[in-house]
Amino acid sequence: MSDLTHLDAAGNASMVDVSAKAVTERIATAEGRIVMKPETLALIRAGAMKKGDVLATARIAGIMAAKKTHELIPLCHPLLISKIAVDFALEEPGTIRVIATVKIAGQTGVEMEALTAVSIACLTIYDMAKAADKDMRVEGIRLLEKLGGKSGHYRAGEA
Protein backbone atom coordinates (compact mmCIF):
# COMPACT_ATOMS: atom_id res chain seq x y z
CA MET A 1 0.00 0.00 0.00
CA SER A 2 1.16 3.50 -0.83
CA ASP A 3 1.88 6.30 1.63
CA LEU A 4 0.34 8.72 -0.87
CA THR A 5 -2.77 10.19 0.72
CA HIS A 6 -4.77 10.60 -2.49
CA LEU A 7 -4.55 6.94 -3.55
CA ASP A 8 -6.72 4.12 -2.27
CA ALA A 9 -5.47 0.59 -1.54
CA ALA A 10 -5.83 -0.32 -5.23
CA GLY A 11 -3.84 2.71 -6.37
CA ASN A 12 -6.85 4.68 -7.60
CA ALA A 13 -7.24 8.41 -7.08
CA SER A 14 -9.28 9.02 -3.95
CA MET A 15 -10.40 11.96 -1.85
CA VAL A 16 -8.81 11.85 1.60
CA ASP A 17 -11.23 10.92 4.40
CA VAL A 18 -10.99 13.77 6.90
CA SER A 19 -13.91 12.67 9.07
CA ALA A 20 -11.66 11.60 11.97
CA LYS A 21 -9.71 14.87 11.98
CA ALA A 22 -10.43 17.50 14.60
CA VAL A 23 -12.14 20.71 13.60
CA THR A 24 -9.55 23.46 14.07
CA GLU A 25 -9.06 26.98 12.82
CA ARG A 26 -7.05 26.89 9.62
CA ILE A 27 -5.67 29.87 7.75
CA ALA A 28 -3.63 30.01 4.55
CA THR A 29 -2.08 32.98 2.77
CA ALA A 30 -0.75 32.85 -0.79
CA GLU A 31 0.76 35.37 -3.16
CA GLY A 32 1.46 35.87 -6.83
CA ARG A 33 2.50 38.69 -9.12
CA ILE A 34 1.47 39.99 -12.49
CA VAL A 35 4.20 41.93 -14.24
CA MET A 36 3.30 44.51 -16.86
CA LYS A 37 4.49 47.63 -18.60
CA PRO A 38 4.67 50.69 -16.32
CA GLU A 39 2.06 52.45 -18.45
CA THR A 40 -0.35 49.53 -17.97
CA LEU A 41 0.04 49.78 -14.20
CA ALA A 42 -0.57 53.53 -14.49
CA LEU A 43 -3.84 52.89 -16.35
CA ILE A 44 -4.96 50.40 -13.70
CA ARG A 45 -3.96 52.77 -10.88
CA ALA A 46 -5.92 55.60 -12.54
CA GLY A 47 -9.00 53.44 -13.09
CA ALA A 48 -8.69 54.14 -16.81
CA MET A 49 -9.02 50.62 -18.26
CA LYS A 50 -11.86 50.35 -20.77
CA LYS A 51 -13.25 47.20 -19.12
CA GLY A 52 -13.73 48.93 -15.77
CA ASP A 53 -12.25 48.68 -12.28
CA VAL A 54 -9.58 46.02 -12.72
CA LEU A 55 -8.72 45.48 -9.06
CA ALA A 56 -12.32 45.39 -7.81
CA THR A 57 -13.16 42.82 -10.47
CA ALA A 58 -10.03 40.77 -9.72
CA ARG A 59 -10.87 40.82 -6.00
CA ILE A 60 -14.36 39.43 -6.62
CA ALA A 61 -12.98 36.85 -9.06
CA GLY A 62 -10.43 35.68 -6.48
CA ILE A 63 -13.09 35.34 -3.80
CA MET A 64 -15.39 33.43 -6.13
CA ALA A 65 -12.53 31.16 -7.22
CA ALA A 66 -11.59 30.25 -3.64
CA LYS A 67 -15.19 29.19 -3.01
CA LYS A 68 -15.15 26.98 -6.12
CA THR A 69 -11.74 25.35 -5.67
CA HIS A 70 -13.32 21.93 -5.11
CA GLU A 71 -14.95 22.23 -8.54
CA LEU A 72 -11.61 22.96 -10.23
CA ILE A 73 -9.19 20.64 -8.43
CA PRO A 74 -10.56 17.09 -8.45
CA LEU A 75 -9.62 15.83 -4.98
CA CYS A 76 -10.25 19.00 -2.96
CA HIS A 77 -13.08 18.98 -0.43
CA PRO A 78 -15.99 21.41 -0.67
CA LEU A 79 -15.53 23.72 2.32
CA LEU A 80 -17.58 26.11 4.38
CA ILE A 81 -15.12 29.01 4.22
CA SER A 82 -15.52 31.66 6.90
CA LYS A 83 -13.31 34.39 5.38
CA ILE A 84 -11.57 35.20 2.11
CA ALA A 85 -9.52 38.35 1.64
CA VAL A 86 -7.86 39.31 -1.65
CA ASP A 87 -5.57 42.33 -1.56
CA PHE A 88 -3.22 44.08 -3.95
CA ALA A 89 0.08 45.92 -3.68
CA LEU A 90 0.92 48.06 -6.70
CA GLU A 91 4.69 47.96 -7.03
CA GLU A 92 6.63 50.22 -9.36
CA PRO A 93 7.64 50.08 -12.08
CA GLY A 94 5.01 47.58 -13.27
CA THR A 95 3.98 44.83 -10.89
CA ILE A 96 0.82 44.03 -8.99
CA ARG A 97 1.32 41.68 -6.06
CA VAL A 98 -1.82 39.71 -5.23
CA ILE A 99 -2.22 38.35 -1.69
CA ALA A 100 -5.08 36.06 -0.67
CA THR A 101 -5.92 34.80 2.81
CA VAL A 102 -8.53 32.11 3.43
CA LYS A 103 -9.85 31.06 6.83
CA ILE A 104 -11.98 28.15 7.98
CA ALA A 105 -12.90 26.19 11.09
CA GLY A 106 -12.70 22.74 9.60
CA GLN A 107 -11.05 19.37 9.17
CA THR A 108 -8.82 20.18 6.21
CA GLY A 109 -6.60 23.04 5.16
CA VAL A 110 -7.29 25.93 2.80
CA GLU A 111 -3.96 26.22 1.00
CA MET A 112 -5.47 25.29 -2.35
CA GLU A 113 -8.24 27.85 -1.91
CA ALA A 114 -5.72 30.64 -1.23
CA LEU A 115 -3.58 29.60 -4.21
CA THR A 116 -6.63 29.40 -6.46
CA ALA A 117 -7.80 32.86 -5.36
CA VAL A 118 -4.40 34.34 -6.25
CA SER A 119 -4.25 32.54 -9.58
CA ILE A 120 -7.68 33.65 -10.73
CA ALA A 121 -7.21 37.21 -9.48
CA CYS A 122 -4.00 37.43 -11.53
CA LEU A 123 -5.70 35.96 -14.60
CA THR A 124 -8.56 38.42 -14.22
CA ILE A 125 -6.12 41.32 -14.16
CA TYR A 126 -4.58 39.92 -17.33
CA ASP A 127 -7.98 39.58 -18.99
CA MET A 128 -9.04 43.10 -18.12
CA ALA A 129 -5.74 44.70 -19.19
CA LYS A 130 -4.71 42.55 -22.16
CA ALA A 131 -5.94 45.12 -24.71
CA ALA A 132 -3.29 47.50 -23.34
CA ASP A 133 -0.51 44.96 -22.71
CA LYS A 134 -0.36 41.44 -24.14
CA ASP A 135 3.15 40.94 -22.72
CA MET A 136 2.00 40.71 -19.09
CA ARG A 137 3.11 37.62 -17.22
CA VAL A 138 1.91 35.90 -14.08
CA GLU A 139 4.66 34.60 -11.82
CA GLY A 140 5.65 33.59 -8.34
CA ILE A 141 2.40 31.99 -7.19
CA ARG A 142 3.17 30.30 -3.89
CA LEU A 143 1.96 29.56 -0.39
CA LEU A 144 3.28 32.13 2.06
CA GLU A 145 1.90 30.81 5.32
CA LYS A 146 -0.49 28.29 6.80
CA LEU A 147 -1.73 27.82 10.33
CA GLY A 148 -3.65 24.99 11.93
CA GLY A 149 -4.09 21.31 11.40
CA LYS A 150 -1.82 18.40 12.16
CA SER A 151 1.25 19.85 10.43
CA GLY A 152 0.98 23.12 12.38
CA HIS A 153 2.49 26.42 11.31
CA TYR A 154 4.33 26.85 8.02
CA ARG A 155 5.96 30.02 6.73
CA ALA A 156 7.70 30.17 3.36
CA GLY A 157 11.29 31.18 3.10
CA GLU A 158 12.33 34.22 1.11
CA ALA A 159 11.92 33.76 -2.62
Active site residues: 127
> How many CB atoms neighbour CB 130 within 10 A?
14
DSSP code of 152? -
Q: Report the helix count and the strand count for the chain, using DSSP H and E.
A: 4, 5
Q: Of all helices (H) and strands (E), which one includes residue 120?
A: helix 111-129
How would you class 4 by CB atoms within 10 Å of its CB: exposed for 0-12, middle for 13-18, buried for 19 or more?
Answer: exposed
Residue 108's contacts (CB-CB under 8 Å, 6 or more residues apart) are 16, 18, 21, 26, 77, 79, 149
